Each structure stands twice: as structure tokens, then as C-alpha cells.
Amino acid sequence: MNGKAPHIVQYQGSKRKLAPQILQYMPEKFNRLIEPFSGMAAISIATAMEHRADSYVINDLNKALVEILKEAIENPSQLAADYRRIWDEQFLYGDNHAEHFYVVRDRFNNGQETPANLLYLIARCVKGAVRYGGNGKFNQSPDKRRHGTNPDTLEQNIYVISNLLKGKTSYFALDYHDVFEMAHPGDLVYMDPPYQGVTNVRDNRYFSGVPFDEFAEAIKVLNNKQVDYLISYDGVCGGKEYGEDLPESLGCKKVMLNAGLSSQALLLGKKSTTFEALYISESLIPLSHTIPKQLSFMEEMA
Ligand SMILES: C[S@@+](CC[C@H](N)C(=O)[O-])C[C@H]1O[C@@H](n2cnc3c(N)ncnc32)[C@H](O)[C@@H]1O
């Protein structure tokens, strides 16, 4: 893949930048890519750009998020028009354009959970970070310096994404356990559960954090069914490790991907490289032996 695949909107935790490295560990061709924790589906989009899978399953517990992807892929002209109308409204507020964010947030929290409303909130909020309070209401604040993704850019990107995935994708808003039930040999399951330690917020509707033991136990289902999988799970930044290793008994191999300079550390005047772990299921391990080191920026860990 040359360069980054298009995205709908910036989304915190997106694997768009890492996609070229992650895709190196996938078979050349396979039946179906299943993303149980799809977020904005960066890996499905990048895989479709390379025509590696015949079909795609996009799932996220956050139903409104999945609705954005569904509308972008199945009905891009409608989503582009709805987003443009909302985006244009902010200029009625002059210098107070950030106030418009709160108006849309209230609409969203009071029954209008439309794909375009949520898309605008993600496009305009701090770091593209979707946050819900204990009452289940979207509570993230606007980034006051920006107007949010330009509707022309958005429109161009969603048409590309729609062309790649329309007619090949099914959409679900289920807990990941239920999605594992759908997997068969010949599928590839790519998992990017909420980051351990960071997203483990109680009473938080969508970012409840996935308990480590429960997740490790659930992976056994895929092993028993002989389904191939890749898991992005924890991170290392500036020598500090986040997250626990998955149990060796699962038979996976862990490789570290170079995610570049940490923007958080840069803000504090430090230069630290972030590494993100990728776990490779047993039958995919032979693939990892053929990946040239200079291409993968990979540091192998046992
Ligand atoms: C780190 S993000 C995934 C980002 C994604 N890889 C991308 O490129 O945009 C994790 C996602 O898992 C979802 N999630 C949290 N708990 C879940 C669960 N129990 N089942 C399914 N999805 C869940 C969250 O809503 C969130 O969008």
C-alpha cells in the first residue's frame, strides 16, 4: 500500500497510520475480514484498498458509530449532504462557531442520534475522542481552533471508501463475543479492543474497557475454531509499558510495531517513540518470517 488509506474522520485510537505494518501480517488473500472493535474501520478500509478480502464485517458496540460507517459506504451522497448542511451552520455563529458544537451535541443527546450529527461531533471535538458520561450522554468538548473536516474533503474520502466496500460489507453493533460466533476458518479477525488502563472507565457506555481476563478467555474460542486473527493490544512509550501480555498458552507471537513519535510526550518537550504490540495467531506466524525488517520497523519479541 502506498501512503495512507482514506478515512472518514480522525478518530482517537485509529490504526490508519499503522495499517501498512499490520497488513503485512495478513495472508495475501482471504475470504472475509471481521473487525469486532471497528471504530472507524481503518483496517477494513486499508485491506479493501489492497483487495485482500472478498467481504467485510464491521462491528462496534457503539451503534451510532456503526451507523456512520454504514451510511458512508451505502449512501455516501446523503451523508455528505447532511454533514455539509450541519458544518455550514457553524458560520452563522461568527467567531463563536464553537457554540454551534454544543447545539449539535444537545440535538444528538436529545434523540437525534443521526450519523451526520455524530460525524460532525467527532470531526469537531478534541482529538477526535468520542466520550460519553455516566448518564450515557456524549460529553466531549469542541476543539475551538478548528472548524472540523471540510465537507469537500469528507465527500471525496467517503466516495472512495464507498467504492471499496459497498456490496461487500455487513454491519453489526454487538458485543465482541457475539461477533466471534460468526467467524469461520478462512476468515481473518482483526481486533483492536479499547486500550487497557486508559479506557477502563466505569459507567461509561461505550468505552467500558475490555477486561483482560475475559478477553484472553474469549480468544480461545477463535483458537478452537481454527480462525486466524491479529490483535493490537498494548503500547510502550518512552520505556513505559502499558498493558499486560496475553497468555503464552494462546500460542500467539507478539511483534512490536513502530507507531512513531508520541504526540503526548512531544507536548511535554520529550521525544519518545511509541511501540504498539501486535499479536499474531499461530497459523499466521510463518508469514512474519518473510517480512523484511527495514520495511516493518519491527522489533520481534520472543
Ligand atoms: C481502539 S477503538 C478501535 C479503533 C479502530 N481500530 C480504528 O482504526 O478506528 C476500540 C473500539 O472498541 C469499541 N468497543 C468497546 N467495547 C466493545 C465491546 N465490548 N464490543 C465491541 N466493541 C467494543 C469502542 O466503541 C471503540 O470504537
Q: What does the domain layout of the chain look like in residue ranges?
A: 19-63+168-301, 71-154
Q: Which of 11, 35, 43, 61 to mutate to test the pocket of ligand 1 (most atoms within 8 A of CB)?
A: 61
Question: Distance from the CA of 93 to the center of ligand 1, in angstroms?
Answer: 34
| 151-165 vs 76-89: helix crossing angle, rounded to 10 | 160
15 Cβ below 6 A of ligand 1: yes
Angle between helix axes 76-89 and 63-74 (nearest 10 degrees) is 120
Return the ligand 1 atom nearest residue 62 CA. 25
Q: Could you tell me if the CB of 44 is within 6 A of ligand 1? A: no
Rounded Cα distance, 13 and 251, in Å: 26
- Map residue 231 onto helix, strand or coil: strand
Written as nine digits, the cell of 231 is 490483535
> Distance between CA 109 and CA 269 in Å, rounded?
38
Closest CA to 235 of 272, 199, 207, 277: 277
Q: Which atom of ligand 1 is nearest to the CA of 40?
A: 9
Specify the residue with its C-alpha closest to ligand 1, atom 12. Answer: 37
Whole-number Å distance between alpha carbons of 272 and 262? 6
**Measured between alpha carbons, how far is 233 from 183 in angstroms, rounded to an integer?**
20
Q: Which three cell numbers stand for residue 80?
A: 455528505
Closest listed residue to residue 206, CA positions, set 189, 196, 194, 214: 194
Q: Decide whether 19-63+168-301 matches 71-154 in CATH topology.
A: no
pLDDT at residue 261 tops 80: no
The pLDDT > 90 percentage for the chain reads 67
Q: Which SS3 state, helix, strand or coil, does residue 48 take?
A: helix
**Predicted pLDDT of residue 201:** 43
DSSP 1: -
**Considering the chain, what percentage of its residues have pLDDT values greater than 70?**
84
Per-residue pLDDT band at 198 (split at 50, 70, 90): very low
Q: Distance (Å, rounded) from C-alpha 107 to C-alpha 96? A: 18
Amino acid identity for residue 149 in this structure: T
Beta bridge partners of 241: 236
- Which residue, by CA, sits nearest to atom 26 of ligand 1? 39
Cα gap 139→206, rounded to integer Å: 12
CATH superfamily, domain at 71-154: Adenine-specific Methyltransferase, Domain 2 (1.10.1020.10)
- Report the DSSP beta bridge partners of residue 235: 242, 276
Tell me, which fold does domain 19-63+168-301 have in CATH?
Rossmann fold (3.40.50)
Q: What is the pLDDT of residue 238?
A: 58
Nearest one of 284, 280, 283, 271 to 300, comparing CA atoms: 280
pLDDT of res. 2: 55
Contact in structure between 237 and 261 (CB atoms under 8 Å): no
pLDDT band at 302 (very low <50, low <70, confident <90, very high): very low
Could you report the per-residue pLDDT of 199-241, keeping only the tens digit for each?
434 434 445 578 888 899 999 999 999 999 999 986 555 566 6
Between 236 and 177, where is the model more confident?
Answer: 177
Predicted local distance difference test score (pLDDT) of residue 199: 43
Q: Is the CB of 62 under 6 A from ligand 1?
A: yes
For 20, the grid coordinates are 501498512
CA 291, CA 297: separation in Å to the nearest integer?
10
For residue 89, what pLDDT band results from cuts at 50, 70 and 90?
Answer: very high
Q: What's the rounded mean pLDDT across residues 125-134?
A: 86
| pLDDT surpassing 80 at residue 54 | yes
Output the CA 16–ligand 1 centroid distance in Å. 14
Tell which atom from ligand 1 comes closest to the C-alpha of 42: 8
Give pLDDT, residue 136: 84
Q: How far is CA 133 from CA 56, 79, 141, 201, in A?
A: 31, 26, 12, 10
The secondary structure of residue 291, as a DSSP letter, is S
